[in-house]
Amino acid sequence: MKVVIAGCGRVGSTLARRLSLEGHSVSVIDHDKAALDSLGSEFTGSRHSGKAFDRATLAASGIEHADAFVAVTSGDNSNVVSAMVAKQVYRVPQVVARIYDPRRAEIYRRLGVQAVASVAWSVQEVLALLLHTGLATGATFGDGEARLVSLEVPQRWVGRTVDELSRPGEISVVAIVRSGHSFLPTGGATMHAGDIAHIAVADTALEHLERMLAP
């Protein structure tokens, strides 16, 4: 996969190194040459000094042949402008932009740009870690409004059905791992001792899920 990354701060540089190590073709853009140099000699991709939304710099990065464009500079405006140029001018299939202002994120998603509202996501993650320590989060969706949690089925739920644990629109058991094998349960499936349940839950329903699972 050919990936162009705009921004060589901590997120951009880490992402660039990871993708490069996995064998992807990576181009990194940053106005700070020192930031580009920090990628080190092990980075096998290309480095381009310039503004993230500058057409000449984007062309030099090979964006015309890119499969994905990621905008993770330190400024919302730079990220959004460069992401929109990548999406609308160069027709890059996958475009992701980091947005600090959560109010803007949904607007850009409607315009076809996958926006990651880092502040809103971070707040949701910290709150979950502080207030819901018994639920191990495997993944989050959007800005953290929904998440996937994994837990061993408590003794009091052994023999009860998946339907009893579910709440439409709030809590849904999406997979169960039993004796090392996973399956997607139907509503009437019963839970066994030792089962690991993977549950999709709305962030607003975390407290209710904890109460349901409490001894």
Q: What is the pLDDT of residue 180?
A: 83
Q: What is the pLDDT of residues 34-81, one digit of tens each?
A: 999 999 888 999 999 999 989 999 999 999 999 999 999 988 888 888
Return the percentage of the chain with pLDDT > 70, whole number. Answer: 85
Q: What is the pLDDT of residue 134?
A: 57
More confident residue, 11 or 105: 11
In sign, the C-alpha dihedral spanning 175, 178, 180, 184 is negative
Q: What is the pLDDT of residue 141?
A: 76
118-131 vs 206-213: helix crossing angle, rounded to 10: 20
**pLDDT higher than threshold 70 for residue 20:** yes
Q: What is the pLDDT of residue 92?
A: 94
Q: What is the pLDDT of residue 89?
A: 93
- pTM of the shown model: 0.61
Q: What is the pLDDT of residues 95-137, one digit of tens each?
A: 988 887 766 766 777 777 777 766 555 555 555 545 455 565 6
SS (H, E, C) the chain: CEEEEECCCHHHHHHHHHHHHCCCEEEEEECCHHHHHCCCCCCCCEEEECCCCCHHHHHHCCHHHCCEEEECCCCHHHHHHHHHHHHHCCCCCEEEEEECCHHHHHHHHHCCCEEEEHHHHHHHHHHHHHHCCCCEEEEEECCCCEEEEEEECCHHHCCCEHHHHCECCCEEEEEEEECCEEECCCCCCECCCCCEEEEEEEHHHHHHHHHHHCC
Q: What is the pLDDT of residue 132?
A: 52
Q: What is the pLDDT of residue 206?
A: 85
Position 93 confidence tier, pLDDT thresholds 50, 70, 90? very high
More confident residue, 114 or 148: 148
Position 158 confidence tier, pLDDT thresholds 50, 70, 90? very high
- Domains of the chain in sequence order: 2-118 (3.40.50.720), 132-213 (3.30.70.1450)
Position 16 confidence tier, pLDDT thresholds 50, 70, 90? very high
Contact 51/31 with Cβ under 8 angstroms? yes
First-to-last alpha carbon distance for the chain, in angstroms, is 48
